[in-house]
Each structure stands twice: as C-alpha cells, then as structure tokens.
Structure 1
Amino acid sequence: MNTDTEGFGDLLQQAEQLTADMDSGTDLPHVERNLQQILEAGQRLLSRATPATQDNTDVQASILLGSKGFVLPKISERLEGLRAATTFEPLEPVRDTDIQGFLRNERENALLAVIEQTRKNTFEEVERRQWECMENEWEREKQKILNSLLGSGQESFEFQQDPELLMTESELSGGRSSLDHIEMAYARQVFVYNEHVIENGILPSLVDMFLEVAHKINDQSVTDLWQMVKCMTEIPLGQMFGNQPSVIRKDRQIQAHLLSRARQYLEQNYIRYIEMTISTNLRQVQLGGVPGTYKLVLSFLNVKPPVAVRSAEDGEVDGQPVWALIFFCLRCGDLRAVKDILDRAGHQLGDFPTFFAEYMNSSDHRLGPGNDTKIKLNYRRVIKNCSDPYKRAVYCVIGRCDWAEDHAEILDKIDDYLWLKLSHIQEVYSDSGQEQLTLKQLQKMLYEDYGEPHFNGYQQPFLYFQVLFLTGQFEAAIEFLSRIERLRYHAVHVALVLYEMKMLVLPSDCQAQLLSEDSSDSAGLRRLNLARLIMMYTRKFEATDAREALQYFFFLRNLKSPVGDNLFMSCVSELVLETREFDMLLGRLEKDGSRKPGAIDRFQQDNQRITEMVAKDTETKGLFEDAVRLYDLAKNHEKALSLMNKLLSQVVAIAPSPQSPRDRLATLAVSMAERYQSMGHEGTQVTTRTFFLLLDLVTFFDFCHSGTVNKALEVIQGINLLPFAPEEVEHKVNSFKHYSEEIRRCLPDILLATMNILLSKYNNIRNSSSQGPFVRTGALADGGKDTYLNYLRSQAKTLIMFAGMLPYRLPGDTNARLVQTEVLMS
C-alpha cells in the first residue's frame, strides 16, 4: 500500500513539473479546462473540419468567395434556416365564419384540381404520341425489311439475249449493274419516256415502248401480255380528263368500253388460233372463194369438225351445221359473217334473224324490251332442251340467257369461257338478282370463289393474269404477278402504264398494303399501292443503279406521303441515305462556291427543297457531319452553321490526329468559313459569331497540344473571352452571359488549358537563369524576373476569380484543378 501511494505521488510531482515547464517562457495565457469542456471543443472542431471522404469543394468555395468578403459558414447557416413554404398553404387555419378565407381556399383548390388534371392529360397525351410514333417507326422498318426480302431474289427468265439489249445494258451499267437484260431494256424505255415528260413535248405511248421490249425478249407469252394491255388501254379518256382513277373506272361508258375491248382481244386471239390451225393442216383445208371470216370458219370446221349431235337442227350450210357456223363466226366477232349465214339459211331459223338484226344494229348490242322478253321465253321453253349445244350457246350470247350455264361441251378453254361470260354482261354494277350477270359478280366469282388454285396460278401465271386483267381487275392482276420474282418487272411496268393513263386505283395512304380494298366503296374496286410496288422493285438494284431507281421514283412525284411530303422527294431522301451517293445524286459545292449538278437536276424539280429534306432525314438518323454538307448544299446556311457549332464544341479540345472526326470537322469548317467570307452567307449574327469563335478555339487547342504555349496564349488573349486582369473580371462575366451554349460547354477545357499555359510559362521562367527583362502583353519590359512571375500569378488568380463568379455550373473537378494549378505557382 505504501509503495502504491509513493508511486502516485511521484506521478503527481512529475505532472506539475511539466506544467511549470510549459508555462515558463511563453506569453500565452493559461487555459484550464476539464474533460467535459475538452470534449465539447473537440466536437465543435470536428463539425467544422471537412471529412476525409468529402470533396474539398467547401475549401475551394471559401477561397473563391473569401476574396469578395463572403463567409461561407454564415451563408450556409442562413441557407439552412430557410424553409420553402408549401404552395397555396394557408398561413392560419380558416375559421368557419371566415368567408374570405373559405373562398380563397376554394379558389386555390380549383386551381390545383385544374393543374393536376392538366398534368394528367399531358402525360397521357405524351404517352399516346410516344406509342404512336413507335408504332409508325416499326411499321416503316417492317415494310423496309419486307421490301428488302422481296427485292433480294435473283431469279430471271432464261430468255435468249438480244445483242442490242446486251449493248444497252453495257452502256447503262458499265459492268456493275444488278439489272438483267430485260430489266435494263425496260429501264431504258422509262428513261426515254421521262425525258419526254420533262421536256413537255409530245408524249410517246408508254405501252408501245414496252411492247417493243416484249418483241425483243422473243417470248410469246410476254408479247401476248403486252398486246392485251395495249388492247385494254385503248380507251377514249378525253371526256374523263381531270377525274380521279376511281371515278373513271366506275363510269358506265368506260366500263362498257373495257368489256368491249376485252371481247375484241379474245376474238382476235381466236382468229389467230384458227389461222394457225389452218396453216398447219393445209391438206385437209378446202380454202377458196372470197377470203373472210366465213371461209376461215368453214375451213377450220373441215380440220376440226364440230361436236357431233344426234341431228343438226335447222339444217346445214355448205355442208356444216348452221348453228355451228353461226357460233364460230360470233366467236370471231364478225357479225357480218353471221348475217351472211342467216341469209344463206333462209327462213328455217324462225325468229332468230329478227333477234339478231336488232342485236347487230344496236350500238351496245342490246335487244329491245319486246324481243328481249321473247327470246328469253323462247330459250326457257324450247332452246334450253334442244340437242344442239351450238344453238343453245348462240341464244345465250344474243339474248343473254342463262348466264350460269357453262356450255362445257363446246367450250373447253379459259378464253372461250371468258368470252362467253363477258358476252352475258349487260349491266356493270346493277343488282338485278340472278337473271343478269354483272361485272362485279363475275369479278367476285373469278377472284374470290375460284381464285388462284382453280386456275393453277403459279404454274400458269400469264393465264391467271389474263383472267383478272380482262375482267377489269387490273390491281389484283398486277399484285398477283408481282409476287412471282421472275415476272415482277412485267407487273411493275404494266402498273406504270395504267398509272400514266389514270386507270390505276391507288389507296389514300401510301403505307397501305400492296393490295387493299376500301370497305366504303360499293363498286368493290381494289387499290394497288404503286409506291410500295416501285420500292419493292427498285430495292434490288438501287445500291448499284441509283440513277435508274430515280427514274422510277419520278413516277411518284404527284403522290404524297402520310406527312404531306412529295413522295418522289421522300424516296430520293431514302435512296441517298441507303446508298450514301450524296455527290452523285444531289450534286456538290466546288471550292469557288459553284454547285456541280447531280442526278436529280435532270428532273427539273425543286432541288434545294429535295436536298434540304435529305438533310433533315440525315440529321434525324444522327449523321450530323453529312447533314452539315447537305444543309450547306441546300443553302440553308443558318442550319449548317448551327449544326457545325454543335459538332465542333464536342471535339474542339481533343488532340488532333490524322483522319479523326476532329480533323474532318475542322477541315470542313475551314472550307465553309473561307467560302462564307468570300461569297457571303445567310446565317444569323449570333450563330456566325459562335462559328468563327469555335474556329479560333480550334487553333488555340492545336497550339496547346503542340506545345506552342506563347502562340496559344496570344490566340486566347486575342479571342477576348477570358479576363487576364482583375479589373476585367466583372466585364467578362457579364459578357459571358451572351455566349451560346456551345461556347459555354467548352469553357472548362479553355480555363484548364489556359491555366496550364500560365503554369508552363511560370515554370520555364522560374527555372531559367535569366533575370530579365521580360515582356508582358501590352507593356514594355518591367525589369525583373520576380515581377513577371507575380504577373503570371496575378493572371492565374484572375482566372480563378472569373471561374468563381460565373453564373454557370462547372464540372466538379474543374475548380479543384484550377486551384491546384494556382497553388503550384505560389
């Protein structure tokens, strides 16, 4: 116990001795604190100290604001004491008898309700439009994919190639074309036709031009197809000029004329068939006398005798059954030959000569009400049950009786069947029950009831095309043929012929399906999307034959896109973006400012508008560098400068390197600047000032990265963007508010680069052995090294002061790096 007491006593004596030693020799007052006071003081110091993990932003802010007399801790306390009042919050409870307060609250509640409802409606509208835009964009992408798939086939007819066609292909393509010789021949005719359209001269017959191609192809099926198209399009449309195609196609006179032309085509084909049959069987033919249809039919029946019947009703003429002769002459379309047979037969045919005379002399081959009733009654009572199939068929044609009867005994070909059904049609769209066949009923029967499987469409495409085309279903026929890759070029050019003649019915929306039907159209006319058909066709070769694709797009110049743009311009824009042949298609600007024409100049359209549309689409797709060139080409200098400013501001501080985006943009910007300075431009003053300021900054950073600090400092001081003396700070801060966002975005890099230049000069001069004199900007030599170093430090402090006073939030590390650099200069 005594030992412990002595030990504590020694410790107490030693502690007192230490206290005495600390007090001796100092002027500081003696402070006595207990443990509680020491703990409180430590807590206060800890609360003021910056945590180790916290950014030193508060320290930097204290340095920057301290120069202006602001104390950061007091400002923080005042800011923390502020409380944001709730909007429309009453200052005191509203009493039951406070009418004014009650009304004020009701008014505020009504306003809040309106604001909330407006906000809700706005969000719903934004969401709806967002989904609508996404659906439209996906629909466009889907159609592009489908068009690419449909246009990627490489099938073609194995036709004998004509030397002239091969020469044409060589001339047009130069050995790089994706078009085969048939497509190239069609493209040549399209080019020639468009040239006539552009020159506003006498337009050639487009169908005749395509018929020439068919003759060169040396394929009878193709030749027959174009002869049929030519026959069906020889319609007088003068009185219908200016009407819509749907109106023209619904006109009764036009429909009657189409039916007449279809029958004439089938009749002419049948005459050629008879002549071919006779020419191959000359030994059996007894051809003589006056040439004509009657003699041809008589000789044909000698080669192919008519269907045998138990007894030839009403006798014979020249050794052949009279009704067979009448039927085959009707099938050839020669009514005069039928009249000659009736004269030869005498009175043994009953009332039929009377019926036929009225039928022949009528302009539309109709019987009067009296004879029409009489012939139908006679058919039902007598003729329908007779044994002669030719007699039944003749009565059905002349009297339009029993249209449901197919007469399979004597009609074994599709052509004969079509001719008979077309002969039955008297009204186009009337709904008179089952007594009369209308065109609408025939079209439905052939396209919907029978359809492709019945006619074996894909194995006999030309036959099924003929069935649809001759019955006035042009759109369905073209759509069917376009689905067969090796025949698509025929379908496209048939569609062009009909479109140019205003006989092709188009949908109101160019994004509709290839073949669509308007439910509100009582006539049941289908609609063919010509724009989609052409784009499907050109998708195959637009990458290698862009000029030829333009020729096809020119047909769409009078159509509108869903947003109201010219469809030709829209297609040109898409073609340019796909091929990226900007100079070849749109032209380019030479160094002297002149414009070298492009492929679109041939079409004499609004080239500036087309180029600007392509520029907008290019900008939308994010191809900003190409968009600048296109806006410049379209003489939209303001947009070109504005977009160039945005691009330059993103790369201005990057180190230059060959073929880098920065170097490409800088080269383009310099060429634009030289041209604008020499020839003028239409950009606004603010945009132009930003553009040239960015060019100066490009030069400044080029000097910085190359280490040429003196020239870099001269450039940045010449730009007059930053202050280098304390008295300039306030003026530069006020001026900075007027700079564009592109310049503000570059400010952190400009400040850091300038501070590094000052540090580099400071280190070079401090480490040099020379003592002066040193020259300051705008002043003579001041006589010493230390004075110049102080001058550089003053410039650095001025930049820090400028950065602290800017009403612009700099990146978090910018202030720290500026302060650190300034510290290195102390």
Structure 2
Amino acid sequence: MAFNPGGTSTQPGGPAQPSQPAFFNTLLERGKKRQSAAISDAGPVDIPNLQLGIGGLRSLAQGISRVDRDDPQTRGVGKKGLSSLAASGIPPSAVRSKLASLDTQAASSGTPRHSESFDPDTQRFLRQIQQRGKDAIATDSFNRVRNEFNTFLEDKIALSWEDQREKMFESLGLGHYKNNRPVNDMSKTGDYTAASALRSRSSVFGRSGLKKSVIGTPTSGPMGTHIFGDAAAAQSDPYPSNSRALREKMERYAAIVRNLNSARMQEKPYPILHELREIEHNPTDGLHDAYDAIVKIVGESKLHMYLSSDRPEFAQDYLNDNPGSDAAVRMRERIIAGSRGFLEERFRNDMNDLLNSDPKTALRGGIPSPLSKVRAYIRLRFQRKDLAADDAEFQQLGEDHCWVLIFYLLRGGFVKEAAEYVSQNNFRSMDPKFAMYMTTYALEGRLPRDLQQKAHIEYQQRVRNAPDIDPYRMACYKIVGRCEPSNRRFEGINQKIEDWTWLQFVFAREESRVEEIAGDSFGLLDLRKDFLDIGQRVFADNSGNHAIYFLLQILAGMFEHAVVYLGQFEPASAVHLAIGLNYYGLLRVSNYFTSNELLSYTTSDQPQINFASIILQYTRDFRAGDPEAAVDYFSLLCLNTDILGDLGKSQVSVCHEALREFILESREFTNLLGDIKPDGTRIKGAIEQRSKLFGIHDDKEFFRLITLQAAAIASDKGLVADAARLYHLAEDYDKVTELINQGLSDTIVSNAAIPDSNEGRTTSSTEGPGAESISLAYRMRDLYGGNAMYYSKISRENLSSFELLLRAIEAKKFMDKSLWSEALDEMNGLAILPLTAEGSVSYIRNTVQTFSTLPPVVSRIVGQLMMWCIQCIGKRRESLQQGLYENDMRHALYDQLLTAARDLMTFAGMVRYKLSPKLYQALACAAGDIGL
C-alpha cells in the first residue's frame, strides 16, 4: 500500500506509478513544490504538516535498528519511533531500505534548459544540414557494412571448433582428442542416436568448402595408424612406420586394386583373396590362414576364372537382417562348412609336414592313401608320447589303435575312409553299434533323431562305467553322435586350439530349434557369443596372441569385428581384408554420413563397419604422390551400389564427394579429368577412364557433374584459375567467361597495379589473384577468339563485358606508364562515361540511363573508372601548365579537360547513391585537387 499525503490509501488494483519510487521521494517532490510556492507568493498547498524532516527520519530509523530489545533505556525510544512511523502510514520494516534508495541529488540536479538562440546565418545553417546528412550517410554505411560483415561471418566462418581441434591434434601427431570407444571393445553400445547423426557429416553435394572434408588432409604421421584410432598406434607393428618394407607392401596392394578394377571394367571375376594371400608372408599374424578360410567359405578358385563373381548371391544372403530367414540360414551353413573344411585341410597340411620332418620314424610305406598317412601320423605321435596321458589305455584291433585311427580320420575330414574302416568284420564284431552310427553319419553328415538318442544313452553309460578306457573312443562317440553338447571339449586327449575350434564347428548346426532335442541346440550365432566372451576375457588387454582371436572371428563369420580388431595391429592389412570381403558381399557397411563410429550396429543388432571411412582415410598416406591409385581406391566405394535403399545411394554419394574434393586437393586436372585440344578433341583422364566403376552409365553426364561440382567449390574458395580450368573441362565456356569477368572486375575495383608483361601471359604466384585473372583473360581471348566452337556457346552479354573489362585493364596499364592521354582515350572508348558531353546535361542523363542497364561486373567499376579519369585529367592539365610555350590549342585542350572533369562530377552527382560513400568522397577530394 503506497503512502498518500491526503490521508487515504490507494487501492491495490489502481494504476502503478513507476516514475516515483514511492514513500520519501514523493515527500521530497512535494517539499520542492511547497518551497517554490512559498517563494512565488502563491496560495497555500494542501499538504499536511510533517513532524520530521528527511534527516530526522533517517536518524530515527537508524536508532530503531540499533535498539536493544533487552535494554529498558532504549526500549522506550524504539516504541516511540515505531509509533510515529506507524501513525504516518509507513511500514517500519521498509524504512531503512527506502532511505538507502533515495536519490538525494535529484532535488539539486534539475537545471532549466534554455532554448537555442536564433542564428540568422543561412550558410552556417546549410553547412549544419549538410554535415548532418553526411553523418547520417556515414552511420548508415557503417551499419550496413557491419551487418554484411556479421552475415559473412555467420555464413562462411561458422566453424565447428570441435572438428578444428580434432584436426589440429591429428596434424600434430597427438592422436584423437575425443575419447572414442576402443575398437577392441566387443560390448555393444547401441546404435548412433539422432543427436549424433545431426552432429555428423551433412549433405553430399553443395557443401561449403569450410565444412569438414570427406577425404581429410594428407597425413605425415605413422602410416595407417589414423584409420583405426589411437589403439592402432599403440600396438606393435611388424613394419616400422614409413619403412621401406611397408611402402613396398602398399605398392603391391595398389597393384592388386588396379588389377581388380581392370577386371571389374571388363566384367570378369578376379581372385582377389588369392592375390592378397600372396602378400601376407608372416605366419604369426594369422592373415595367411584367414584368407585360406575365406577362400573355403566363398569357394574362390584361380583355375575357374570364367565364372562370374558370386557377390550378388553372397550379399543377398549375408546382408539379410532376419536371422531366421532362409537366406541367413543358408549363409551360416556355408560359413560353418567352409570353416570346418579349412580346419580339416589345415590339419592335413600339418600332418604332412610332420611326416615329412621324420619319414624314418613314420614309416609311411605302401600306397599313399589317407589311411596310410593317418597310421604313419599316429605311429609318429606314439613315438613322441603326446597322444594322451601316460596312463591312458588304447584299444587295439590288429596293429591299429582303432579309436585313435578313427578319430584322426574324422579330424582330417576323411569321413568316407572312416566309414569303410568300421565296416570291416573285425571292427563290427567289436562295436557293431558304432559301426552303424558311423555308416549313417558318413552318408548324411548327421544321425537321425532315434540313432542320436541311442548314441547319447550309450555315451552316458560309458562315461559312468568306464570313463578312463580309451579316451579316443569317447571322442569318436562325441563327434558322431553329437553327444553332450554342453561340454564341447575332448577329455583325456592332448589337443590344440585348432582341435577345440574344429569340435565347435562339428557341433554347430543350423536347424530349427523345434526339431532339435531340448538342450542340444547350438548354432553359429551361439558360437559367435562364445567367441565374443573369449575375446573379452582373454584378448581384451591384447595380452594374448592376437592372431588366434582374429582367426576365430574369421571362422565364425564375424568379419566386421575381425577387420576392426586386425586394424589395431596391421591397419594396411585390415583395409585390404575389408576390400576382399566387400568384393564378395561379406561385409555389412554403414552410412558414412550418419555413422560416427567405425564399428556400429543396425537396428536389428547386426554389426556394420564404416567401409567408406577406412578407404578414404587409407588414401591419405599416398594420394598426394599417386593420384591414380587414390582414384582406384575411391572406386571401391561403389562396390556397394547393389545395396537397396538409401544405404547404397550413400556409398555412391560419398564416392562422388571424395572425387570432387580430391580434384581440388591434388590440382592434377590433366591426369584426373583429362584435357581438351584446340580442335575440341577430348583426352580422357583417370576418372573418365574408370567412369564405369562409379555407378553412372552416362559417362559424359557423370564427368560433367563431377567437374561442375568441383568447379563450384573452387569458385567459392576464390580459386579462380582452378575454377575456370574445371568449367572449361566441363565445356561450360560461358561460365569460364563469367568467372574471368568477375576476376577482372575485382582487379579493377581493387586499383591494383597491372603486371607489365607480354599481355600478362606469364604470372607468378606472388603477383596475386589480379595478375592471375588477367593472365587467364588473355589466354581465353587467344583460345576462344578464333574458334566458333567456343565463342558460339558464350552469351553476348558476357562477351561484351569481357571486351570492355579488358579495355579497362589496358587503360590502367597506360596509367601505370604515365601515358595519361592514351589512358583517357581508352576509357572514352568504353562509352560508359560522359567524357565528351561538353557540358550537355541531356548527354549526361543519357549516360546515366545507360549506366542503369550495365551488367553488374561492369557497373561496379564505373566509380573506379571515374577516379582514374579525374586523375588522368589532373595529370594531363598539370603537364599542360608546365609546358614551355602557350598557344590557343593548349588553352582549348586545358579548358576541354576541365569541362570533362565537371561533366564527370555532374554524372557522379546523379549516380551518387549507386556509388559507395567512401568512393564518392574520394572522388570529390580528387576533383577539388584539380580546381573543381
């Protein structure tokens, strides 16, 4: 409630008085009015008498704040003060704060303002009006320039500082700034979120040159370590960084990719897995075995090259996201069979190596059949006492340890030979049930349900009754009868990791879970989970042999995980393993523009790898020195064009984006884009030669599209020469002329010195963009001027602007040589300035109308041309004044130049608002210097 001097209170719903701070400020205001009324002998003011002044109220309020409620001497004073304030309608609690907010200087600061005295000087008044106009124009120009500058900053300098910091860390060799998820982490963190997708790479075409590059910047750090993150740089590499061995290996890789693309253009298959296998000589890295396993899975053969590539079939089956579909089951069965076949073949090779190492002890002899080889192998193993424990008992049938012989026949993949062996009468008499199981197993590859149940029962009985008698017999029952699937390991047998792995694939079957016996279901998906668990427990800290886990991932068909895991140790080999897998469609790729992680997961929890990212990052090591090899690698991105939907389109888009950026980065226009001879014949470049690999069948349109996109980016970055060259290669000659016109116009407006060379044909990079534009202009005139094929495709407006701008350049050359008359004649020949008006206002107005119809590149140089004309007139008149002899002709020329200068100023006054204020002011100053 506000204090009312009249004794009434204002209602809360009344209008507020924000201009009065209330309470004591109101009293001060009324006190001033009262004093003024008393001095002017005015009538009495209806204001109640105040018992206390402002000072008294302040002292009383301070005294109240210091009152000690327990002191009887001060308690009365406090009560008296409170009563006085309450009687005045003022809340005591608000007194102190209100006094602190009083503006005590307000009463004395108000001084009456006197009106300005009348000034009869009209000249001074006009000067003041003119000065105000100039100030307004300057303020308006400043605001406009500031707004344009802010808009430019927002449009062009809107950098992502996180990306810039990341790029700086990489360029300094400090690795990545962000703490990305380790690539060996097999736990799934889920798909990328919508927010991360928005923060990721943006559109494909029409991107600003200041945005994040697709191909990145060439690196000078350790080769390949930037592809798979910091983990790759921390691992031991068999090839030191930038070593000669690694460079030779990369050159061999590049040759394979080149041959692969040659085969693709001829639509022929290419044994890429065999070729890559030949490069991997290190037996400890597992790559040699990995390629053998993949060859078994896909069935690649160098002897049947007339067959077409099976990529469409493999890709359709492997990329099916429904794990229960026929295609997905078919692919898992193929992986199981191929991996098992590889392990059996590897055992046969190891067996042969062992027999060849000690042929005297092996005593192979006889016909070199699988049975004789296995018998010799067992004989050699018995000699070394490494078949089982020392106290193990082995059943014999004649000279053979029959169960050991059957086991290793199965281990080597000799199922038919094992069935023939147990079909003999002497073995049937010993164990007729197993002979029946083995014969059925050899025919169908598995036992029917009834026989499998019988084999389970017999196996369990033998485990309970005689578990220590011949462990190889129990192993044979476990293999043939698929017994005890929850315990997938051999008991009592000396075995290697390969034997355990082989048993996992023996048990793995892709059957309907309804048809499987309860507890016996075990497929490739379950095996992958086991391998992932092993990787997290044993290989997560890279303490174990990484080649073992890498091979397990390949055998289980975990190709995406295998590529990323191998990338920690050998990045270059991992990149080309991904290429080989992707060639056959055995790699699930992610969208480059929406996926920020190297290894991510689809909505159906399927792993996917950013194939485009690893290819683009890999080329950073060599593309500066071998641009054609980089184009070969870029074309591999279009291997995935057969993927349906936006994913397949995104792979083509990132390929085209990479080509466009690489064209600008390398500036190898002739090698990449080719050239055009003066007669119009096109010379194909590396990109056009491989245009069939880039997903577009219209070669001409594809080439034109890529070139135009690169030219647009070059133009945005101010690379006039590169943009003009690219537009010329795209056969857009009108755009070439437009670019050169813009460059000439910029050169004239900047008032830069023109290089005095042979028509500007030879320029240096230190002479600036102006010299470059002039050199381009003369070369264009020489090339286009005499060939109707070129100038017929250039618009008349651009041609006329080009001729006019080139004449303006010639005028500037005359000025730089102090040839003032020649420069004036050249500018007069442009017919855009009233140099010959001779005071005719109508002529000047016609010139103003012509000015309004000029193209922008020409109209923007008119101001600078007027400045040049004024300078030339001044210099010419100065030379006339300094002449030794005077005559009428000299006086007439002197007056004619003065008239021309006045006509120019009249023209400038008519178009002043189309000129920049700074230029108009400079023009006025120059005119004043010559006496206008």
Cα distance, 1:51 vs. partner?
9.1
1:404-459 C-alpha deviation (Å, 9 max, x unpaired): 32225325322111110011011179597742211111112112443483498576
The answer to whether structure 1 residue 439 and structure 2 residue 532 are counterparts is: no
1:77-99 C-alpha deviation (Å, 9 max, x unpaired): xxxxxxxxxxxxxxxxxxxxxxx
Distance 1:825 1:348, change over 3 A: same
Between the aligned partners of 1:192 and 1:723, the Cα distance in structure 2 is 69
The answer to whether structure 1 residue 460 and structure 2 residue 568 are counterparts is: no
- Equivalent position to 1:537, from 579, 597, 618: 618
- Report if the CA contact (8 A) 2:428-2:435 is conserved: no
Cα distance, 1:625 vs. partner?
3.3
Cα distance, 1:697 vs. partner?
1.8
Distance 1:453 1:429, change over 3 A: farther
The answer to whether structure 1 residue 226 and structure 2 residue 341 are counterparts is: no
Match of 1:252 in 2: 329
The answer to whether structure 1 residue 760 and structure 2 residue 825 are counterparts is: no
Greater RCO, CA 8 A, separation 6+: 2
Distance 1:41 1:622, change over 3 A: closer
Root-mean-square deviation (Å): 4.1
Match of 1:567 in 2: 654
1:792-826 C-alpha deviation (Å, 9 max, x unpaired): 22211211111111274322243344334444245
Letter in 2 for 1:518: Y
The answer to whether structure 1 residue 555 and structure 2 residue 628 are counterparts is: no
Match of 1:74 in 2: none
1:683-715 C-alpha deviation (Å, 9 max, x unpaired): 433334333322222222222222122221122
The answer to whether structure 1 residue 601 and structure 2 residue 688 are counterparts is: yes
1:159-204 C-alpha deviation (Å, 9 max, x unpaired): 9xxxxxxxxxxxxxxx999962222222222222322322x25333
Cα distance, 1:221 vs. partner?
5.5
- Report if the CA contact (8 A) 1:557-1:567 is conserved: no
- Equivalent position to 1:619, from 715, 718, 731: 715
Letter in 1 for 2:477: Y
Aligned pairs (5 A) from 1:416-495: 416-427=499-510, 434-451=519-536, 453-454=538-539, 460-484=545-569, 487-495=570-578
Q: Percent identity?
A: 21
Between the aligned partners of 2:277 and 2:196, the Cα distance in structure 1 is 48
- Report if the CA contact (8 A) 2:216-2:620 is conserved: no
For 1:316, what is the secondary structure of its paired residue? coil
Match of 1:373 in 2: 453
Cα distance, 1:520 vs. partner?
2.5
- Report if the CA contact (8 A) 2:638-2:651 is conserved: no
The answer to whether structure 1 residue 749 and structure 2 residue 864 are counterparts is: yes
Distance 1:570 1:374, change over 3 A: same
- Equivalent position to 1:325, from 405, 420, 431: 405
Distance 1:131 1:509, change over 3 A: closer
- Report if the CA contact (8 A) 1:748-1:810 is conserved: yes
The answer to whether structure 1 residue 196 and structure 2 residue 196 are counterparts is: no
Distance 1:179 1:684, change over 3 A: farther
Letter in 2 for 1:229: I
Distance 1:220 1:451, change over 3 A: closer
Cα distance, 1:268 vs. partner?
0.9
Between the aligned partners of 1:337 and 1:608, the Cα distance in structure 2 is 65
Between the aligned partners of 1:308 and 1:176, the Cα distance in structure 2 is 48
- Equivalent position to 1:275, from 331, 338, 352: 352
The answer to whether structure 1 residue 666 and structure 2 residue 796 are counterparts is: no
1:471-517 C-alpha deviation (Å, 9 max, x unpaired): 11122112211222xx3333222222222222222124455356434
Between the aligned partners of 1:50 and 1:754, the Cα distance in structure 2 is 31
Letter in 1 for 2:558: Q
For 2:289, what is the secondary structure of its paired residue? helix
Aligned pairs (5 A) from 1:98-117: none
- Equivalent position to 1:640, from 736, 739, 742: 736
- Report if the CA contact (8 A) 1:178-1:544 is conserved: no
Between the aligned partners of 2:461 and 2:283, the Cα distance in structure 1 is 52
- Report if the CA contact (8 A) 2:602-2:608 is conserved: no
Distance 1:587 1:145, change over 3 A: closer
Match of 1:796 in 2: 901
Between the aligned partners of 2:252 and 2:433, the Cα distance in structure 1 is 56
Distance 1:750 1:500, change over 3 A: same
- Report if the CA contact (8 A) 1:176-1:544 is conserved: no
For 1:341, what is the secondary structure of its paired residue? helix
Match of 1:33 in 2: none
Letter in 2 for 1:195: S
For 2:599, what is the secondary structure of its paired residue? strand
Letter in 2 for 1:618: A
Cα distance, 1:267 vs. partner?
0.5
Between the aligned partners of 1:298 and 1:740, the Cα distance in structure 2 is 96
Between the aligned partners of 2:865 and 2:328, the Cα distance in structure 1 is 75
Larger deviation, residues 352-361 vs 232-241: 232-241
Match of 1:503 in 2: 586
Between the aligned partners of 1:813 and 1:621, the Cα distance in structure 2 is 27
1:643-681 C-alpha deviation (Å, 9 max, x unpaired): 333332222231124631211210112212332222324
Letter in 1 for 2:774: A
Match of 2:696 in 1: none
Larger deviation, residues 536-545 vs 603-612: 603-612
Letter in 1 for 2:381: K
Any unmatched runs of 5+ in structure 1? 1-35, 62-122, 160-174, 774-783
1:37-69 C-alpha deviation (Å, 9 max, x unpaired): x963457664443499x58959999xxxxxxxx
Larger deviation, residues 801-810 vs 534-543: 801-810
- Equivalent position to 2:316, from 234, 243, 246: 243
- Report if the CA contact (8 A) 2:277-2:291 is conserved: yes
Distance 1:561 1:614, change over 3 A: farther
Between the aligned partners of 1:506 and 1:180, the Cα distance in structure 2 is 28
Distance 1:808 1:639, change over 3 A: farther
Q: Give aligned pairs, total.
A: 693
- Structure that is richer in helix per residue: 1
Letter in 2 for 1:355: Y
Distance 1:818 1:456, change over 3 A: closer
The answer to whether structure 1 residue 577 and structure 2 residue 664 are counterparts is: yes
Cα distance, 1:283 vs. partner?
3.2
Match of 1:737 in 2: 852
Match of 1:49 in 2: 127
- Report if the CA contact (8 A) 1:762-1:825 is conserved: no
- Report if the CA contact (8 A) 2:456-2:481 is conserved: yes
Match of 2:482 in 1: 400
